[in-house]
Structure 1
Amino acid sequence: METFERGDPADAGEEFVRLWTGAQRRVFLSIFAVVHNLADAEEILQQTSVVLWRKFSEYRRDQDFTRWACGVARYEVLKHRQAKGKGALPISDDLAERLSAAALHDLDGLDRRRDALQKCLEELSPQHRELIRIRYEEDCRPEGLAARLGRTADAIRRALHRIRMKLMECVDRKLAEEGA
């Protein structure tokens, strides 16, 4: 059970920032799933980050940092609920815990789908990948794509539909292969 040794504070700070940056979105979403108030969720996230830094020397490298951070966040949610009074959030602490755990589980599923989608995008032909990139990264509507590519908007819509169906089948296949 190897904990993170804080020899050089700069190294510890860099390691913490790297881990926290990767986990922060998921921690925030697990908090927000319980409190349903953006300002409260941001306040709890801020407090969670302070507590995580204070306790970083207790973090074990063999642990999943995001799960560890979400565990700390759960306690911060409970402390926030106690400070605000239960009237602010009319649910039991047990239900709040279960909501937080369910949110984390849902995020795991979304991450697996995102990873599978990335692999499927890489399998597309360069032309199809570029069409998808322009459509979604540049937010270019089919009419704009048609003008850029010298095709009809209808032809672009049909092509996008076929590509999306192909991606959906590929993602489902990859998730089934993983056993997800």
Structure 2
Amino acid sequence: MQSRSEGQNESRNEVFVRLLAGIQRKLFLYVMVLVPDPQEAEEIVQDVSVVLWRRFEDFRPGEDFFRWACGIARNEVLKHRDRSARAARCFSPEFLEQIANDAVRVVDTIDERREALRECLQELQPHHRELLNQRYFHQMSTEQIAQLHGKSVEAVRRMLHRIRMAVLKCIQQKLRTAEDSA
């Protein structure tokens, strides 16, 4: 039979795991902004996860877990910089602090941006979507696409530019609409 405190710990464990799983990808992206080496970022995220667990009792229900985790991640990145002489020479602590603050806002909206991109791509005419797929998914050069479609390279470049600008405008509009309705 479990004691009352064991049941509470298990509940606490489940809450922690659920919260951490919900932000793991965004937390990694946040750290990648500050430490561009994916292996170093992965190590830092693992360290952050341990610190988050150790300090989970400091987390207040209703607080934004992602922002709380980013504060801890920023501290872990600074510790990592102190251990790495090469990294310490790259950026000043003030610059890193500003980037960290900006990164929280950007990464926090990544799911909304991805959804807006998906919707905007679906709204494209099929042949425009196919051009983007050829260029970015299949990594075809503009020369290859031009040859495939019997167009000039310059015509393909202009078309891709117009499509990208339309997608960007669509995304910005969707994000503004979502922001206004929030």
Question: Does the pair score TM above 0.5?
Answer: yes
- The alignment covers a number of residue pairs equal to 170
Q: 1:127 to 1:14 in 2, by over 3 A?
A: farther
Match status 1:167 vs 2:170: no
The one-letter amino acid paired with 1:51 is V
Matched residues, percent identical?
A: 36
Q: 1:10 to 1:130 in 2, by over 3 A?
A: farther
Which sections of structure 2, spanning at least 5 residues, go unmatched? 1-7
Kept in 2, the 8 Å contact 1:142–1:153? The answer is: no
Q: Which residue of 2 aligns with 1:23?
A: 26
Distance 1:6 1:129 in 2: 50
Alignment of 1:1-180 (within 5 A): 6-7=9-10, 15=18, 18-32=21-35, 41-56=41-56, 59=59, 62-80=62-80, 88=88, 91-92=92-93, 96-108=96-108, 113-148=113-148, 150-154=149-153, 155-178=155-178
Which sections of structure 1, spanning at least 5 residues, go unmatched? none
Displacement after TM superposition at 1:61 (Å): 5.8
Kept in 1, the 8 Å contact 2:34–2:96? The answer is: no
Higher relative contact order (CA 8 A, sep 6+): 1
Deviations 1:37-72 (A, max 9, x none): 777655433321221243456555644332121111
Deviations 1:90-111 (A, max 9, x none): 745x664344212323444666
Which shifted more, 10-19 or 125-134? 10-19
Distance 1:114 1:82 in 2: 34
CA RMSD of aligned residues (A): 3.9
TM-score normalised to structure 1 length: 0.65
Distance 1:169 1:26 in 2: 24
